[in-house]
């Protein structure tokens, strides 16, 4: 019985250390960008231009509020050259009422955010890079189920997972 308890305790300790190590690597300042990006993607997937605009407005505010000089050096180096591009894309989506215009800006947002996600851990879990062959465009997802933001309900499951960013 003692051996079983000891083994269980060792496994629980190992799991907690692994989870803690993963969470320590996630950028607390930059990770909200990815979370809010996912909410914009969800709105576009649902063909909801108003929600995409509102959520992109929040994303733009989050990007604007980041103090680059307060970031660790590696995060500064990754975020600074992309911050203006990310902000412009988010503001374009926020200012548009047309899904096609929002989706065009979302493509650029996705491309730039992919560069950031590859450079800085923004999620404790994997980030899936997905591809729409019809639009010839990528997007990021927190799961490997295809829900296409470029065509929404029209072609919801069109696409494929092309990579996983750990």
Q: Give residue 22's pLDDT.
A: 43
Domain annotation covers residue 14: no
Looking at residue 142, which CATH number applies to its domain?
1.20.120
Per-residue pLDDT band for 5 (boundaries 50, 70, 90) equals very low
What pTM was estimated for this model as a whole?
0.83
Domain annotation covers residue 3: no
Indicate if the pLDDT at residue 9 is higher than 60: no
Domain annotation covers residue 140: yes
Q: Cα 117 to chain center, whole Å?
A: 7
Domain annotation covers residue 77: yes
Domain annotation covers residue 20: no
The mean pLDDT of the chain is 87
Indicate if the pLDDT at residue 3 is higher than 50: no
Task: Please report, for residues 60, 117, 144, the alpha-carbon distance to residue 70 in angstroms, rounded to integers and kept in the order given.
Answer: 18, 19, 33
Helices 99-119 & 73-95 angle (0-180, nearest 10)? 170
Instruction: Give the residue numbers spanning the domain of 123.
Output: 28-165
Give mean pLDDT, residues 25-49: 95
């Amino acid at each position: 019985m003692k051996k079983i308890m000891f083994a269980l305790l060792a496994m629980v300790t190992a799991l907690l250390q692994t989870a803690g190590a993963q969470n320590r690597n996630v950028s607390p300042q930059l990770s909200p960008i990815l979370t809010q990006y996912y909410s914009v993607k969800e709105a576009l997937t649902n063909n909801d231009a108003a929600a995409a605009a509102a959520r992109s407005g929040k994303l733009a505010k989050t990007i604007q509020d980041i103090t680059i000089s307060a970031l660790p050096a590696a995060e500064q180096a990754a975020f600074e050259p992309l911050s203006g591009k990310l902000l412009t894309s988010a503001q374009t989506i926020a200012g548009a009422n047309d899904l096609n215009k929002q989706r065009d800006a979302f493509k650029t947002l996705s491309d730039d955010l992919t560069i950031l996600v590859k450079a800085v851990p923004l999620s404790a879990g994997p980030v899936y890079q997905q591809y729409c062959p019809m639009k010839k465009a990528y997007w990021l997802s927190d799961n490997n189920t295809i829900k296409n933001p470029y065509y929404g309900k029209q072609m919801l499951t069109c696409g494929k997972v092309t990579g996983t960013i750990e």
